[in-house]
Amino acid sequence: MEDLIRPIYQERASHRNTLGILMIEKKFNNSAITDTFDVVLLVIVKEADCPVFSKHYTAKGQKAALYVVSEEKLNEWLLLGSNRKVIDWVFNGKVLFDRNEYVQQLRNRMLEFPEEARRLKMGVEFAKLIRRYTDGKVFLETKQLLDAYNHVVHALHHLARLAVIEKGFYPEITVWNQVKQIDAQIYKLYEELVGSDEPLDKRLELLFLASEFLIHSRIPSGSAHLLKVLKQQEGAWSIGEIVGHPELEVYSVDLVIMLEYLVDKHVLVVEERSTKGQHVFHRYYKVADH
């Protein structure tokens, strides 16, 4: 197959904008890694008008997919985990072209997983975890059990990824294989959720109780990045200042629910400031003094 796609990647390698090209071949026991294609070509470019561009090819009964991805979009995927296949592709793909060892350096950074990047990724996962846990708990309280189940499964996935990141690893697609080695307690919760013979409502009640303890124990690691940003200025922040801060944009819609969770746990405190309306106050947030 490499001979068949050689003209495609050789043309891309000749572009000065191309940083690296990787080839990912379909695995016998896991065709999902390439979306059932026989081979995927991942081309990383410095800049692009379109952050993700793709083409599909057929040759001698086999099919190939080409993805041209900007460096900015690739870094976003690696940070947010919004395209987890790419982590596997970057780690395990065969390097066909590597300008100035770009791919090798990228792999080294991922293996080293610098503290600042780790702290930010933990914050994003923690915010998503709080969102799923909080919404799921409401569904449980209103007896919407299947919606509650869906949310607690997602919450456990975020908790699992958080545990993996805490240990200095990138969460992979097969995150539960990683968690089984890293945090047996979280893995056991997942097993109980999907494999227990208990009625669904009882399973969910137990899971939400256990999750509450595990989430609470992750507050220091999960909130470290947010608190570091909030300590950059003296005094309290308005919600507009927080959501508009460039370092916090990646939290997206999960930021507000995370703030309120941290207020509830006395990690943040609310400062009220007068408005023109009588008995109406602005809410400002600041890190609690401990």
Buried b / exposed e over 247-279, threshold 16 CB at 10 Å, is ebebbeebbebbbbbbeeeebbeeeeeeeeeee
Query: Locate tokens 């300008």: which residue?
Result: 99
What secondary structure letter does DSSP report for 288? P
User: In sequence order, what are the beta bridge partners of 273?
Assistant: 282
pLDDT for residue 32 is more than 80: no
**Which one is predicted more confidently, 185 or 27?**
185
pLDDT for residue 201 is more than 80: yes
pTM of the complete model: 0.86
Q: What is the pLDDT of residue 54?
A: 94
Q: What is the pLDDT of residue 94?
A: 94
The mean per-residue pLDDT over the stretch 251-274 comes to: 94
pLDDT for residue 245 is more than 90: yes
pLDDT for residue 31 is more than 70: no
Q: Which residues have C-beta within 8 Å of that of residue 247, sequence separation ≥ 6?
A: 120, 225, 229
User: What's at 158, amino acid-wise?
Assistant: H
Query: pLDDT confidence of 30, banded at 50, 70, 90?
Result: low
* The residue count for the chain: 290
The mean per-residue pLDDT over the stretch 258-274 comes to: 94
Decide if 107 contacts 170 (C-beta within 8 A). no
Using DSSP's 3-state secondary structure scheme, residue 248 falls into coil
Of the listed ranges 14-23, 30-39, 113-122, 240-249, the least confidently predicted one is: 30-39
Q: What is the pLDDT of residue 29?
A: 62
